[in-house]
């Protein structure tokens, strides 16, 4: 379309709109501010981790001259080797290796057992309703809100009665029972979304309790089981209170043993070796979240927490 004088008119759809341009500029500026703030918060949050990582590669003399915060002028893994197999922890000069394996022996079976029992509990409380089932579910989930300090004396009496005092299996028992509240809550809230028609059809076909669980419920369970395993393993691995109270010496998990890092043979703090030991203790949950984090979030959004 042409205007008077033969000059083409600018269509209304592409005409310059200063208000729209200003709005786009304000949105870009707002997003830049948001990203800048998020970057600043992330840097502030990760700064201690960065200091520990850098110090694990620095020589002790370099740390003494330049302070704890600084870039390494040399790179060596000798501090990691010493932290693993020769540094004195809790009066035992074998590094963190035995305590690391204690945590594995504790966390792996406790995670598997508590997840398996929680899945069965969630299946019962969601698909096999009975009188008082809601009340029972409420009592089980009450354990989510109870602080660990409230159960120290009952657990001390129980472990002594069972002969499991200062043993890894005693810690496994504690974490299995303490974790049932979380695993039952997660699995039950996930299984209530399974259509009742599937369960009823299986019952009509003659399937029993365990057959329905194996053939129908478990094939639908990988998202919530991944969430529960990640949650339980990291929680058990990082737990400190029960490890300190109910174990000692060579039977302590790594989180409890790390507090004794300064009990070395000299009065000189070996910050590089201590930093490496702390990072070794943090590696398993860090790797789990690194490789399984997306599955964790996917499971949460599919009904783990409502």
Closest CA to 95 of 266, 278, 283: 278
Nearest 5°: phi and psi at 8? -65, 135
Name the residue with tokens 């309703």. 129
H/E element, 212: helix 209-212
The C-alpha torsion from 76 through 77 and 80 to 81, rounded to 10°, is -120
pLDDT tens per residue across span 250-301: 889 999 888 876 555 556 678 888 888 899 999 998 888 888 777 777 766 6
pLDDT tens per residue across span 152-202: 999 999 999 999 999 999 999 999 999 999 999 998 888 888 888 888 888
Q: Quote the percentage of the chain above a pLDDT of 90.
A: 28
Per-residue pLDDT band at 23 (split at 50, 70, 90): low
Query: Could you tell me which residues come within 8 angstroms of residue 29 by beta carbon, excluding any fewer than 6 positions away?
Result: none
Q: What is the pLDDT of residue 60?
A: 78
Torsion 243-247-250-251 (CA) sign = negative
Q: What is the pLDDT of residue 306?
A: 45
Please determine, looking at this structure, whether the domain spanning 81-304 carries the CATH number 3.40.50.620: no
pLDDT averaged over every residue in the chain = 83
Q: Judge whether residue 304 has pLDDT over 60.
A: no
Per-residue pLDDT band at 20 (split at 50, 70, 90): low
b/e code 290-299 from CB counts within 10 Å (16+ = b): eebeeebeeb
Q: Judge whether residue 84 has pLDDT over 60.
A: yes
Token reading at 209: 């309790």
Closest CA to 249 of 145, 165, 132, 183: 165
Rounded distance between C-alpha atoms, residue 258 and residue 13, angstroms = 67
Rounded distance between C-alpha atoms, residue 243 and residue 155, angstroms = 12
Token reading at 89: 């922890």
Q: Quote the percentage of the chain above a pLDDT of 70.
A: 86
Instruction: Using alpha carbons, list the distances in angstroms from residue 169 to 15, 163, 260, 286.
Output: 75, 10, 22, 24
């Amino acid at each position: 379309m042409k205007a008077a004088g033969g000059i083409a008119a600018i269509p209304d759809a592409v005409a310059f709109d200063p208000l729209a341009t200003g709005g786009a500029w304000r949105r870009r500026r707002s997003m830049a501010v948001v990203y800048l703030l998020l970057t600043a918060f992330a840097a502030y949050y990760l700064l201690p981790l960065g200091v520990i990582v850098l110090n694990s590669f620095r020589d002790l003399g370099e740390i003494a001259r330049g302070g704890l915060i600084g870039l390494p002028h040399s790179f060596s893994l000798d501090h990691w080797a010493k932290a693993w197999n020769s540094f004195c922890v809790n009066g035992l000069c074998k590094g963190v290796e035995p305590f690391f394996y204690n945590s594995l022996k504790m966390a792996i079976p406790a995670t598997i057992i508590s997840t398996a029992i929680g899945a069965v509990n969630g299946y019962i409380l969601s698909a096999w309703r009975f009188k008082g089932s809601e009340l029972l579910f409420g009592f089980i989930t009450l354990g989510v809100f109870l602080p660990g300090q409230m159960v120290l004396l009952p657990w001390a009496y129980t472990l002594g009665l069972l002969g499991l005092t200062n043993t890894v299996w005693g810690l496994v028992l504690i974490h299995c029972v303490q974790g049932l509240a979380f695993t039952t809550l997660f699995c039950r809230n996930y299984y209530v979304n399974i259509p009742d028609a599937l369960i009823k059809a299986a019952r009509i076909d003659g399937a029993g309790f365990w057959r329905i669980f194996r053939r129908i419920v478990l094939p639908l369970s990988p998202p919530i089981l991944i969430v529960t395993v990640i949650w339980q393993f990291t929680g058990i691995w990082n737990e400190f209170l029960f490890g300190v109270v109910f174990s000692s010496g060579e039977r302590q998990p790594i989180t409890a043993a790390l507090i004794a890092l300064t009990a070395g043979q000299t009065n000189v703090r070996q910050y590089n070796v201590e930093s490496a030991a702390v990072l070794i203790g943090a590696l398993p949950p860090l790797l789990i979240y690194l490789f399984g984090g997306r599955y964790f979030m996917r499971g949460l959004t599919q009904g783990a927490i409502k």
